[in-house]
Amino acid sequence: MSDCIFCKIVDGEIPSEKVYEDDKVVAFNDVNPQSPVHILVIPKRHISSVKEIDDDNSHLVSHIHLVINKIAKDKGLYEKGFRIVNNCGEDGGQTVNHLHYHLLGGRQLKWPPG
Ligand code: 5GP
Ligand code: ZN
């Protein structure tokens, strides 16, 4: 989508610190990190939110999980653990309407969220 900042990151129109890329997904450092490691993993294809996951695109979600495990190992999070977050819609706190999973780690994270 032309006005989507994450589509622009996929296209390279907006710079980002990429940590992983393949034909289906891109992962890059969050510009406003909430933990020592805070990476966003997104499909290259524009999907607005988890509400749009269906039979045609759900393979991307399983692929994202494989990529998250790889990045967690690469970033040294695997032994101590990490958190995967998806915010959906207004009450969920979603601010960018392109599907993304937050990978957070590198410190003890609190629960429950605010
Ligand atoms: P949400 O609130 O939608 O779950 O998460 C959006 C995330 O995108 C936020 O953590 C925010 O810091 C991050 N973000 C927003 N704009 C940019 C950007 O231009 N570059 C990067 N790297 N992260 C961004
Ligand atoms: Zn997009």
1 pLDDT band, cuts 50/70/90, is confident
For residue 28, how far is its CA from the centre of ligand 1 (angstroms)?
A: 10
- 18-47 pLDDT, tens per residue? 999 999 999 999 999 999 999 999 999 999
Cβ atoms of 27 and 18 closer than 8 Å: yes
The alpha carbon torsion through 24, 74, 99, 50 (nearest 10 deg) reads: 100
How far, in Å, from the CA of 65 to the mean position of ligand 1? 19
Return the residue whose CA atom lies nearest to atom 13 of ligand 1: 30
Answer whether 113 contacts ligand 1 (Cβ < 6 A). no
pLDDT for the residue numbered 31: 98
Q: What is the pTM of this model?
A: 0.98
CB 33 within 8 A of CB 75: no
